[in-house]
Chain A
């Protein structure tokens, strides 16, 4: 097939100024033949596609080749099968759930405890944590406040409780501190607590001195139960309190106080009480007068003495000893002059 169409003029420098020469008809080259057949094939394909579109309405793509290849074998291996059966065994499941974690925990603990270095590390860690917790500001005690104690007692308490503030309240042994404070003589009771604001509050009740006791070791103040309050340098420090002395006087302070209460009317003459033989009291008045009381029921004996005194001014007379030791037979010992005078009067009477 020859193309008779006139080719459009092409600019060719070699043909400059000349008309285009006549192209003689020539046999087609190999390339042209191939191109031609290709064009024919393309035309047929186009026609076929068009026919397909006419038939089916649209051009359908060729379906994806379906994959019929064999899948991998889904069967479990014998080992996997057995493992699965094992994992379905109730005993084994229980062991895996509880036994294995317990054993693992036991193993870890045992390993750590066997190793000295790790054990030390653990204790250090624990201590550090504990310390960090205890030393939180909420738990710190910064000061001590003592209420109800005299200055001297407060100073004593500060001496026997050597606490360096600030200190965590976990390190305070309040019970032990209370015991220590209670061991102080002037302290009757003590109560300790950590007040809010980090203050160690100590409430102290002091013993109230009731008598002055002159004992073998010196002069002491005793409270009403006979407990020492403090020592005195001299009895004159507390002239307001009665003096007691003699063996075992400090053990019968209560009785002494009862006697003194009874002997109230003679108080300004009373010099003191003397315990005799750890069993009975002598009341010593000025002018060296002495009332000797029985061991049994000394209070009523004292009352009788007071009654005699009221009736006959017994104490004003020249009597040195009023002996009430035998309640049924009170005895008077006169002074030397008085007895001589009495004898003289009797002699006059006899003449």
Chain B
């Protein structure tokens, strides 16, 4: 974990430099779109909101000054597949966002959804030397956590302390200053495929930018679409994206589990395309305009022109009923949700005090999805939209933008990570020497 520690610390320093400059870009590389926001940090806490609801309770301190979205290319299952195509898409989004912001951006924080995320729970425990818990003790307990063998070709994306315990008192978010003999910490570690991060690094470098951080889009969409008490009591975010569906589980304002199902809206579209024998774009259009998952009697009479430009009049003038379309879409959506259910069951979501499930992502806009999802995932399902941040254009307030908005919140208020603490250098010799000194003190 040491070279990763170095790279993550380097990214953290870049992010600090960007905060000093006051301008940073956040970029969500998705399967169906690349969204980019340019944020300005002026350090000022935003004032009273006339609507009465301040976003982030006035903690945000940043403003969106540029926003751009472009069709994604070369991305499959939330992973970069054709690097140069993706690089061009990223460049398009960045250029138009910079143009809107009228400012040059040098640092970017990227999120992505795929790359087979896997969650690990880590536990660490150290004896406290004496006195209250210090920052060094926290670093010590985190570096002393037993790291499982997460396999070659994997990288740690997040490693966040979620819980601290001093002696038998558990549930501390910040144990500094507590007095005890033993400090224990629980960490949540998220690993992803290393080559995905490398590809993103390459694309960002080709755009003359510096990477100031990477985040899992499942995590950041949870940050933006869960309200505070949901994060506190336990909730899961299901981010229905184009190529993959991200799942993140929060409790006590920490992410404790994240996963991704490699199924998404694109699969629904391809089902329609195959089932109705229409081109991909026509299928996408039919899905967004007429799609649904719950068929009613009315839908049998609701005829949809499939269109087409084959030149075969009979073929191009076909009509299908909306019920047929729903019949194609529903099994695939059910499959996605059942897969999500399986992942949540495997993660032990049932045992959380809160069972809230928030559907977000562009795929969550299918009419009737909440009804279907509550049958599969449980009763407490709601639709999630990203939190309101100042300056966000109206076109970027839909559920499809929850990950990029969450990424900007993540940039403004980053969660403590393992690499935010200084590892005690040369841990062992120093400790043994101190122990020897103490032994001498105690005996003479």
Among B263-287, those with CB < 8 Å from A are 279, 281-282
Task: Report the count of interface residues on A (CB-CB < 8 A).
Answer: 19
Q: Which of B98, B99, B208, B309 has the most CB of A within 10 A?
A: B309
**Interchain CB contact under 8 A, A89 and B104:** yes
One digit per residue, 1 when the CB lies within 8 angstroms of any chain B CB and 0 when it does not, for chain A 76-99 equals 101011101100111000000000
**Interchain CB contact under 8 A, A84 and B89:** no
- Residues from chain A with Cβ under 8 Å of B91 in the complex: 75-76, 78, 81
Given A73-B88, A82-B208, are A66 and B282 also a contact pair (CB < 8 Å)? yes
Interface class of chain A by DSSP: loop
Asked if A62 lies at the interface with its beta carbon under 8 angstroms from chain B, I say: yes
Asked if B58 lies at the interface with its beta carbon under 8 angstroms from chain A, I say: no
Q: Which of A67, A75, A82, A89 has the most CB of B within 10 A?
A: A75
- Residues from chain A with Cβ under 8 Å of B279 in the complex: 68
Task: Report the count of interface residues on B (CB-CB < 8 A).
Answer: 26
Option from A63, A74, A75, A88 in Cβ contact (under 8 Å) with B104: A88
The complex places the Cα of A78 from the Cα of B208 at a distance, in Å, of 10
**Interchain CB contact under 8 A, A76 and B95:** yes
One digit per residue, 1 when the CB lies within 8 angstroms of any chain A CB and 0 when it does not, for chain B 208-220 equals 1000000000000
**Interchain CB contact under 8 A, B98 and A85:** yes
One digit per residue, 1 when the CB lies within 8 angstroms of any chain A CB and 0 when it does not, for chain B 300-320 equals 000001011101010011000
Instruction: Give min CB distance, A240 to chain B, whole Å.
Output: 96
Asked if A57 lies at the interface with its beta carbon under 8 angstroms from chain B, I say: no
Asked if B19 lies at the interface with its beta carbon under 8 angstroms from chain A, I say: no
The complex places the Cα of A60 from the Cα of B22 at a distance, in Å, of 59
Asked if A65 lies at the interface with its beta carbon under 8 angstroms from chain B, I say: yes
Instruction: Give min CB distance, A227 to chain B, whole Å.
Output: 81
**Interchain CB contact under 8 A, B308 and A65:** yes
**Interchain CB contact under 8 A, A84 and B99:** yes
- Residues from chain A with Cβ under 8 Å of B309 in the complex: 65-68
Q: Which of B89, B91, B99, B208 has the most CB of A within 10 A?
A: B91
One digit per residue, 1 when the CB lies within 8 angstroms of any chain A CB and 0 when it does not, for chain B 67-94 equals 0001000000000000000001101101
Option from B88, B92, B103, B206 in Cβ contact (under 8 Å) with A88: B103
One digit per residue, 1 when the CB lies within 8 angstroms of any chain A CB and 0 when it does not, for chain B 357-371 equals 000000000000000
Instruction: Give min CB distance, B203 to chain A, whole Å.
Output: 12
Asked if B102 lies at the interface with its beta carbon under 8 angstroms from chain A, I say: yes
Asked if B156 lies at the interface with its beta carbon under 8 angstroms from chain A, I say: no
Asked if B207 lies at the interface with its beta carbon under 8 angstroms from chain A, I say: yes
The complex places the Cα of A346 from the Cα of B206 at a distance, in Å, of 146
**Interchain CB contact under 8 A, B282 and A81:** no
The complex places the Cα of A198 from the Cα of B206 at a distance, in Å, of 78
Instruction: Give min CB distance, A65 to chain B, whole Å.
Output: 3
Option from A74, A84, A85, A88 in Cβ contact (under 8 Å) with B70: A74
One digit per residue, 1 when the CB lies within 8 angstroms of any chain B CB and 0 when it does not, for chain A 254-268 equals 000000000000000
Given A62-B317, A65-B316, A75-B92, are A81 and B308 also a contact pair (CB < 8 Å)? no
- Residues from chain B with Cβ under 8 Å of A78 in the complex: 91, 206
Beta-carbon nearest neighbor of B92 in chain A: A75
- Residues from chain A with Cβ under 8 Å of B103 in the complex: 88
Option from B95, B307, B311, B316 in Cβ contact (under 8 Å) with A84: B95
- Residues from chain B with Cβ under 8 Å of A80 in the complex: 95
The complex places the Cα of A80 from the Cα of B208 at a distance, in Å, of 13
Beta-carbon nearest neighbor of A89 in chain B: B104
- Residues from chain B with Cβ under 8 Å of A65 in the complex: 307-309, 311, 316
Instruction: Give min CB distance, A82 to chain B, whole Å.
Output: 7
**Interchain CB contact under 8 A, B99 and A85:** no
**Interchain CB contact under 8 A, B305 and A63:** yes
The complex places the Cα of A17 from the Cα of B329 at a distance, in Å, of 84
**Interchain CB contact under 8 A, A75 and B89:** yes
Option from B70, B95, B313 in Cβ contact (under 8 Å) with A62: B313
Beta-carbon nearest neighbor of A82 in chain B: B208
Which B residues fall within an 8 A CB radius of A?
Answer: 70, 88-89, 91-92, 94-95, 98-99, 102-104, 206-208, 279, 281-282, 305, 307-309, 311, 313, 316-317
- Name 11 A/B residue pairs within 8 A (Cβ), A-sorted: A62-B313, A63-B317, A65-B316, A66-B282, A74-B92, A75-B88, A76-B91, A76-B95, A78-B206, A81-B91, A90-B104
10 tightest Cβ-Cβ pairs between the two chains A and B: A65-B309, A75-B88, A88-B104, A75-B92, A68-B281, A66-B307, A81-B91, A76-B95, A89-B104, A85-B104
A82-B208, A84-B98 known, 13 other contacts, Cβ within 8 Å: A62-B313, A62-B316, A62-B317, A65-B307, A65-B308, A66-B308, A66-B309, A68-B279, A68-B309, A76-B95, A78-B91, A81-B208, A84-B95
